[in-house]
Amino acid sequence: MEPVLRRYVKAHGYAIALSALFFGCIIVADVLAQDQLSRTVNEYAFFRTRPLEQLIFSIAWVVAGLIFLLGLMCERKEAIFPFSTIFLVEWCLMLVQLVHRFEVRSPVEVILSSEAVFFLIVPLYVGYTLVILYRVFDSRCKEDEEDVEQAHRPVKFYFGDDPEDTYS
């Protein structure tokens, strides 16, 4: 992949990782600062909006964001998996919550809400970026393997016009 495009995609990865870290830290600080863990919870509330679950998911976002950020710096494709897993779990929870809203609101209100827009656009952007980053880091590994394979081939010296190619 071209170096300019590679840096462009990595910049988007950095933006995604830093935003996950930023918002995860804000929610962790908010839950802990306001002492929301001791308040009574509505039993009918969606479990993702409860304080303890918010804290658990926010800590998971911070950990996954740190792993993803370090993976971006080291260009390791394995570091994409924890972030994509927590992203997929969060996206599925948003899907359940969005489907549940069809019981309370009309379908037009749900589809035209900002939550539905985020449900469609953000996963496309983040998912597309993660897939491209995986392919960029995977192609980098393949290029490195080809370089190592090329380095292990013996050097051929020949004199004359028609060399005999016995090594390939």
Rounded Cα distance between 62 and 132, Å, is 22
| pLDDT > 70? residue 124 | yes
Tell me if residue 48 falls in helix, strand or coil: helix
Residue 106 lies in a domain: yes
| pLDDT > 70? residue 39 | no
Report the number of distinct structural domains present in the chain.
1
Residue 11: predicted pLDDT: 93
pTM: 0.72
The region that residue 160 occupies, defined by phi over 0 for left and psi between -120 and 50 for alpha, beta otherwise, is left
Residue 163 lies in a domain: no
Residue labelled with tokens 């379908």: 107
Q: Mean pLDDT throughout 61-68? A: 94
Higher-pLDDT residue of 142 and 139 is 139
Residue 167 lies in a domain: no
Residue 52: predicted pLDDT: 78
Residue 36 lies in a domain: yes
Residue 104: predicted pLDDT: 82
Residue 82: predicted pLDDT: 93
Residue 165 lies in a domain: no
Structural domain of 88: 3-152
Rounded Cα distance between 22 and 40, Å, is 27
Residue 39 lies in a domain: yes
Cα(first)–Cα(last) distance of the chain, in Å? 27
Residue 68: pLDDT band with limits 50, 70, 90: very high
Condensed to tens digits (0 to 9), the pLDDT of residues 102-118 reads 888 887 887 777 777 77
Q: Mean pLDDT throughout 51-57? A: 82
Residue 115: predicted pLDDT: 76
Residue 88 lies in a domain: yes
